[in-house]
Amino acid sequence: MKFNTKVIHGGQEHDPAYGSVMPPIYQTTTYAQSTPGGHKGYEYSRTHNPTRNTLENAFASIENGNYGLAFGSGLAAIDAILKLLQPGDEVVSTNDLYGGTYRLFTKIYENFGIKFHFIGMENTSRIEEYITPDTKLIWVETPTNPMMNIIDIVAVSKIAKKNDVLLAVDNTFATPYLQRPLDLGADIVMHSATKYLGGHSDVVMGALVVKDKDLADKLYFIQNASGAICGPQDSFLVLRGIKTLHIRMQRHCENGKAIAIYLANHPKIENVYWPGFESHPNFEVAKSQMDDFGGMVSFTTKGNNYEEAIRIVENLKIFTLAESLGGVESLAGHPASMTHASIPKEEREKTGIVDSLIRLSVGIEDEGDLIADLEQAIG
């Protein structure tokens, strides 16, 4: 099955009871047993739920994995991965990563005796310097937020395999429409399904997909034992979202490209961060591991003026000033005052998050309307 067919049918069967084309929302906590232990595969909905299972199978299908797991949020999915570790273990992670992931690593798991090394992985040659006999996990996010850095998944996976370390990739920004980390050698692919997979800014959810049965069994055990699951209603909504992932992503990519090019030619704009430019430092890697370049675009204005950036995001009319990304509607954010405000100015500027940086999640509205909106806001 090709991807465009998988998003609609992958891992899904018509409901055996009445043939309903969409899975019923099994809004139940428990399942009748004819005799103790005599059930139809379902006992209690923390452990299993038919609607959630259908979604988990769909996750596995679109990421070319064998096993999918759904969680109550993207962070709950990352939390489950970290519970594979023990005190004394070490993790090597990208240094430009989602703020909530960084917070989970440093404010929760460091307290449990896990050590994290945050390093730039745009050049993979330095990764092995940080690998010790205690290293159990490499954590990669690509493209990164908000600087759109690109990390070579194949190169990192070779290092991970050579050193017998698990490689997990946060594939939230790219989605499997653009990039399939398991095919590139990763062991675990993770999503904030809140973003493009759900796609309509109406559900918070997380996902994991793996190929290996032993790894899947450990993660299912953690999912059930820790209990950070999602409900059947949300499972239904994300399954519905996935059915249009390919056509939404196609338009996100088209609009993202048009806006990146428009901004790059604008006299008031200094830098545009989008992995589809030949001038992007890892353009060749992006071209080889991604099928297109996505709908996330960041930019800075000439003079790097904080107040001017605030004025631009306030003036936007079609773009909504909001956190999050990946929905059908276009959003704009100002990292220095919003998502990254808690990081000291000198620290955030080291990774490129300067005062005038604006991040766009380009939606699937009309391209001309979006450009006209930017035009009037930038002035």
| Chain residues in the site for ligand PLP (CB under 6 A) | 73-75, 98, 100-101, 141, 145, 170, 172-173, 192, 194-195, 204, 206
Instruction: Report, in Å, the least distance between residue 351 CB and ligand PLP.
Output: 15
- The SS3 call for residue 198 is coil
On the question of a cis peptide bond just before residue 143, with omega within 30 degrees of 0, the verdict is yes
Phi-psi region of 104 (alpha: psi -120 to 50; beta: other; left: phi over 0): alpha
Instruction: Decide whether 54 or 192 has the Cβ nearer to ligand PLP.
Output: 192
- Cβ burial, residue 254 (10 Å; 0-12/13-18/19+): middle
Q: Which residue is nearest to ligand PLP (CB)?
A: 74
Tokens of 227: 């209990």
Could you tell me which residues come within 8 angstroms of residue 311 by beta carbon, excluding any fewer than 6 positions away?
none
- Quick one: 70 or 131, whose CB is closer to ligand PLP? 70
CB of 133 to ligand PLP, least distance (A): 29
**Nearest residue (CB) to ligand PLP, 290 versus 378:** 290
CB of 73 vs ligand PLP, minimal distance in Å: 3
Note if 152 is an active site residue.
Answer: no
Tell me whether residue 134 is one of the annotated catalytic residues: no
CB of 372 to ligand PLP, least distance (A): 28
Residue that has been written with the tokens 């290996």 in this structure: 212
Cis amide prior to 146 (ω within 30 degrees)? yes
Give the relative orientation of helices 50-62 and 232-242 as an angle to the nearest 10 degrees.
30
Instruction: Pick the closer one to ligand PLP by CB: 149 or 172.
Output: 172
What are φ and ψ of residue 162, in 5° steps?
-60, -35
Q: Which is nearer to ligand PLP, 145 or 157 (CB)?
A: 145
Work out how close the CB of 324 gets to ligand PLP at its nearest, in angstroms, rounded to a whole number: 7
Nearer to ligand PLP, 89 or 170 (CB): 170
- Going by C-beta distance under 8 Å and a sequence separation of 6 or more, which residues neighbour residue 266? 378
Q: How far is the CB of 192 from ligand PLP (least distance, A)?
A: 3
46 is catalytic: yes
Catalytic residue, chosen from 89, 96, 170, 355, is: 170
User: What token pair was written down for 192?
Assistant: 């904030």
List 15, 31, 42, 46, catalytic entry: 46
- Both tokens of 144, joined, read 């990164």
Half-sphere exposure of 375 (CA within 13 A, CB side): 8
Examine the residue annotation and report whether 355 is marked as an active-site residue of this protein: no
Spot the catalytic one: 26, 67, 98, 109: 98
Q: Which residues are catalytic?
A: 46, 98, 170, 195
